[in-house]
Homo-oligomer: A and B are copies of this chain.
Amino acid sequence: LNEGLLIDWVRNAAGAGGGVCLGIGDDAAVVRSRGRYWILKADMIAEGTHFSRRDSRPEDWGRKAVMVNASDIAAMGARPRYVLVSLGVPRRFATADARKIMRGALEASTRIGARIVGGDTCRCGTLVVSVMMAAEAPSGKWVTRSGARPGDAVLVTGPLGGSLPSGHHLRFFPRIGEGLFLAGHYRVHAMADVSDGLAADLRHLARAGGVGFEIYEDRLPLRRPARGARSAFLDGEDFELVFCLESRQARRLLRDGRAAKRGFKFYPIGHVIKKGLRFVRRNGKIEKFPAMPDHHFGA
């Protein structure tokens, strides 16, 4: 399956208008009803693709399904409010284990300040946890993937790479506080969460904004045991935010006492350029972004 082709086709077929402020193709959708805005997101995780019974527990799967959605909501600068969880379970799956999945989902929802309001279970050959999230943008604004401008600074909220071996993909806390802070106090031009890997997610921002990126190897914060920049670019499941704003705003952000007080960290990793995806190695050599050998299914 070519996910990109499919999404493009659906986006064109679904069209715009009718209360849809932001449709398919961003981290989440924005819809309007009687002057109120809602942010909607759905994301599904499946056994064998996003988790395995060998290295994680049912609670982890429920938690992860909620947190991956919350990460996309965070990338809109919004606050998760309501959660729906659909569970597909194989024949003879124990009720006690299904309950553990739901306990993980409930605890994660509580931790992000959201409520589970609905659910559905059905029999399914593969174990899947499908979550939908409805959110609000308290500042009345939301941040999209488009809007990056040449000259903007590019920053991330934390280290990248090595998510699977480190267990980060099961334990991460979505950057909701950072997203709300950025949307509320700064003019963020574009933002996304790093779920498919920095290379893929910057490609989305580049395409959405009609711009390019220049990223510096010596600036990339790495998560142990990430093996260098390749890992940061391609591993995925980092669930950090990557965002673009004017250099002057970025300098102000890096000195912002309110952010420091709340434990927020921001790492400048490069700049928006007119076009192209340039990776500046430590030795000054300029390369393309590292690429995957074949198509990757991200979270």
Contact = CB atoms under 8 A, between A and B. Distances in A.
A38 B38 contact: yes
Contacts of A117: 14, 20, 22-24, 29, 31, 40
A25 to B, nearest CB: 9
A103 interface: yes
A42 interface: yes
A82 B23 CA distance: 10
A122 interface: yes
A38 B134 contact: yes
A43 B94 contact: no
Contacts of A116: 10, 14, 23-24
A18 B115 contact: yes
A299 B122 CA distance: 7
A186 interface: no
The complex is assembled from copies of this chain, and their number is: 2
Interface stretch (A47-55, A150-158, A201-209, A241-249): A47-55
Contact of A130 (B1, B5, B34, B130): B130
Interface in A210-242: none
A46 B88 contact: yes
A139 interface: no
Contact of A128 (B41, B81, B106, B128): B128
A190 interface: no
Nearest to A21: B117
10 contacts: A6-B98, A7-B121, A19-B82, A24-B116, A28-B118, A42-B120, A45-B122, A84-B132, A86-B130, A124-B126
The 6 closest A-B pairs by CB, nearest first: A132-B132, A125-B126, A29-B117, A46-B124, A42-B84, A130-B130
Interface of A: 1-3, 5-7, 9-10, 13-14, 18-20, 22-24, 28-29, 31, 33-34, 36, 38, 40-50, 81-82, 84-86, 88-89, 93-95, 98-99, 102-103, 106, 115-126, 128, 130, 132, 134, 136, 297, 299
